[in-house]
Amino acid sequence: MYISTGCRSDSLATRSVTFLEMVNMNAQRHIRLLLFIPVLTSIGFSSSRFRSMPESPEKTALLPFEVHGLPAEEGLRLTQSFRDALAKSKRFDLMHPDTMMSILAEAGVKNLEECNYSYCLADVGKVLGVEKVLHASVTRRGKLYVLRIRLVNVADAQIVYDEKAEHSGEFATLAADIVPEQARRLAEPRIETSTKWYVIAAAVLVGVGAIYWIYRSFSRNPGGEDSGSTLPPAEQ
């Protein structure tokens, strides 16, 4: 049978162009999907992990500093230093200490220094009618001071801020510089992290599944067959 070489070349060229166009369309579609995956995962994370700063000051109770190895007077001084620095930030609506202690006394709350875990702090916050409770502790070991500050959300007893700082030196420096600096750090705009493990796992599974699907799609031609033959067979 006689085959026209010109017609055969034109047919191959046409099929090659058509195939490349289809591959290009698939590639563009997959690239768009790849760009869309981060959007999907960020939406999932934003709903559970990221919480923006409140528009109005949060009603907050600052409990007296829990001290170990320090006189009670120094603990009160640290509490006042922290309160003064925090009040300047305007982020928290701090309950007056006299009002706080009066409400707790009327409610029969005792041994406040022993209330240092999140659920107990949240219960104290409910008694006080506040949104957040601030708990701080200072431990002295020789010249070393260890300061820990925690912010507890009263509604669900979640610790939304947990920071530890160390100072080796004089108490005066701790009260005048270190403690106010930690208060300013607490008041800075930040994102509260309370990511659930299953949210992270779901995001990872979605990403892995999408990558695998894209890989399988690229490994097949538009007709659904394996990519062993890159061009359709020529007409005889």
Q: CB–CB of 89/183 below 8 Å?
A: yes
- Please state whether 86 falls in left (phi above 0), alpha (psi between -120 and 50) or beta: alpha
- Cα–Cα–Cα angle for 175, 165, 118, rounded to 5 degrees: 100
Q: Residue 66 — pLDDT band, cuts 50, 70, 90?
A: very high
Higher pLDDT, 179 or 13: 179
Does residue 101 contact residue 30 with C-beta atoms inside 8 Å? no
The stretches of the chain forming alpha helices (DSSP H) are: 5-48, 72-87, 97-106, 118-128, 171-173, 179-187, 197-218
Q: 217 pLDDT band (50/70/90 cuts)? A: low
* The predicted structure's pLDDT at residue 69: 95
Burial (CB < 10 A; 0-12, 13-18, 19+), residue 121, is buried
Q: What is the mean pLDDT of the chain?
A: 77
Would you identify the CATH topology of the domain 58-187? Rossmann fold (3.40.50)
CA distance 193 to 69: 32
- Model confidence pLDDT, tens digit, residues 71-117: 999 999 999 999 999 998 888 999 999 999 999 999 999 888 889 99
Query: 134: closest CA among 149, 119, 120, 147?
Result: 149
Query: Can you give the residue ranges of every domain in the chain?
Result: 5-49+196-218, 58-187
Does this model's pTM top 0.75? My answer is: no
